[in-house]
Chain A
Amino acid sequence: MEVKADDPRSRQIHIATFEVNRSIFGIDISHIQEIDRKNEITPVPQASETVKGVMNLRGNIVTVLDIGKCLGLKPDPANVQTHQIIIGMENEVVGLMVSAIGNIYTVDRVDIEKPPANLCSVNKSHFSGVFKTKDQIIGVLDIHCVLKNEMAD
């Protein structure tokens, strides 16, 4: 169902970027099932605070997470989260609330460097690497690792 992200045969990977709480992150595009907007989210009382709620994705109930909170970013009320990135996991799909969708970059594997030790305020283990564009450095999320961390025991 999902394309192996770390297929050694492919030298290049595609990375989609998104913005949340004024920070830009990248995700390997093979993890992304689709990008949606304007889905109505039903909040779930008593859920952990990283869970935004659940939504109806063509008949499936999808848990929607606040990726900003998952990454421990400072909340920014001015930055409205409007888009949902739908990520295919092993046995379910999960939605991530983000404020904006950025570009898609094609990056050579060799150009992805190890994340620097002091990666902003964000937990380093969430990143699989960083890459440089013309004007900025973007952290690539190990999204499966992030989502598994958030799972209830």
Chain B
Amino acid sequence: MNVMIKALSSHRLAVLTMLLAMHLVFVGTLAQRHLDIWQVQERYFHTWFAWVDSDYEGWSLPVPMVGGYGIGFMLLANLSAAYLTRLRWSRGKLGVHMIHLGVIALLFGELGSSLFSKESQMRLEEGDTLNYSEDVRNWELSFRVLAVDGEDIDVVVPRELLKTGEAVSIQELGLEALVKDVSRPTQEVPRVEFALPGQESVVLTGLDTQDRELKLGGRTVLAALRHRRYYKPYALTLESFTHERYSGTSIDRLFSSLVRLRDPDHGEDKTLTISMNKPLRHKGETFYQASYEEGGASILQVVQNPVWWLPYLSCVLVALGMSTHFITKFSMSRKGRP
């Protein structure tokens, strides 16, 4: 047992973990030539075990590695064991301890955002008003029943509920749809084929530019396969989009969106500017100027991360720890002199 604890708390394990982490980061960086950043995060960093994925390198043997979660866990276990057995809480070491606490906060911050943060986008042309953002890496099947009198009815089926060969009951329409074929989540262009009672089978893809019109028992239904939407209790309007280049070059000098935010719940109605390095924060969500399309559409990245403060806490701890360390070292070296 003692041997185990000694090994667990050893410098050797710390060094080994850091070297493993380096290897993982290196492989995870190389993989970005072939995978997008989200796939890389899923496969290498936000996972317990990872494979040096070889299909793209043309090797036949995948090599197992400890994933990001595994590395984090090893570091935590090592540090906790070291604190419990080996390290002493002396004043001279206070700074070093704070730096290590900062590193722990950093690890938890990354764990938290991998679990809880939600990213989506808003694409706005000038004059557009939107009360939802879209998750461009996920999609859903939507039906809109056009009203004969009263309001339209919207029905949304998330991708997870669509499975080949299974039926999905859509209560609002009082019918069942049989899913004949559905694309895998990794496929670039989503596609779904389904049949409604008494109808020919319908094929929808993510490339469709118009909603499909279906006649169901005298009612008109618009069906579409679209990016997953997150509806919000407030709306954004793009008043104007500014895009400047340095004269005589193709280098972007600035792009910024003038938006109007209307939040009836809070009685807010204000106009403000979102630009690079100057986001808008509202109700736990942050809107960043991410990109633009030629022709004036502005693309805002919408991020919700409940643990955004953890890295900041970590930075404070590290900064305090470093200053404490230098001050104690300095005063000790002063004392040591004759």
A and B associate:
no
Binding site for B on A (CB under 8 A): none
Binding site for A on B (CB under 8 A): none
